[in-house]
Copies of this chain bind each other. A is one copy, B any other.
Amino acid sequence: MSQTSPVRTAGFLVFPNVTQLDMTGPQEVLTRMPGWRAELVAASRALVRSDSGLVIQPDVTFAEAAHYDLLVVPGGPGVDVAMLDRETVEFVRDKAQRADYVFGICTGSLLLGAAGVLRGRRAGTHWQSREQLAKFGATVSTERLTVDGNLFTSGGVTAGIDMALRVVAELAGDDVAQQIQLQIEYDPAPPFNAGSPDVAPPEVVERLLAASAQRRATRSAAVDQAVAQLAAFDR
């Protein structure tokens, strides 16, 4: 990386009940890119608790946020609230419009959808939320990694790590991406083959779907409300 290159900024949105690995996986990868800095941005500087109980300190508020060359939007159960929060949605819309690149991870794609960013775009999300994505006018991808122009979206949680390497390749070259992959020893060897509904044992898929039925219903209702808000927003 040339010493004279200007520093570029990646902004990582966080909100209560974010799924921390949606954000922390890409943060670990993207912060290793030479010439880039990262900041965590939230509605306020108050500590943010992930759905797994990890407590994180945002670096800046929406009002203090820098220009983002890359906007990163993670997901999690908190998306149901965040996509109905006008301030959050307007922030995402504004930053996404100005950013060179936008990167949605897992159900972070729903938040991008609520901000109107996905209309007519091809995008993916967590496998359990795919049917929701179409409501925002997106062309739904069932792939783990989806690239549509300057829009990168990934499947659930850990797919963000794969996609972050892809983003690095795009922004800094294959060689840098491979070097980061080697630094984080990302030569995955999961002990089971159960990471997508296509390969997991059917009884595992069924049990998970049964356990999450209420949660999916809540999400569907929240998405319907976000779609209505987006329509009102546009008038």
Interface centre among A144, A185, A195 (most CB of B within 10 A): A185
Q: Which residues of B contact A179 (CB under 8 A)?
A: 194, 204, 207-208
A89 interfacial by beta-carbon distance below 8 Å: no
Q: Which residues of B contact A155 (CB under 8 A)?
A: 185, 187
How many Å from the CB of A120 to the closest CB on chain B? 25
Q: Which residues of B contact A159 (CB under 8 A)?
A: 185, 189
Interface pick from A47-55, A63-71, A78-86: A47-55
Contact residues, A181-226 vs B (CB, 8 A): 181-197, 199-201, 204-205, 207-208
Q: Which residues of B contact A144 (CB under 8 A)?
A: 185, 187, 189
19 A-B pairs with CB atoms under 8 Å apart are A20-B27, A21-B24, A27-B52, A28-B157, A31-B52, A56-B56, A144-B187, A155-B185, A156-B185, A158-B184, A165-B192, A169-B192, A174-B192, A179-B207, A179-B208, A181-B192, A182-B200, A182-B205, A182-B208
Interface, chain A (partner B; CB < 8 A)? 19-21, 24-25, 27-28, 31-32, 38, 40, 47, 52-57, 59, 106, 126-127, 144-145, 155-159, 161-162, 165-166, 169, 174-175, 177-179, 181-197, 199-201, 204-205, 207-208
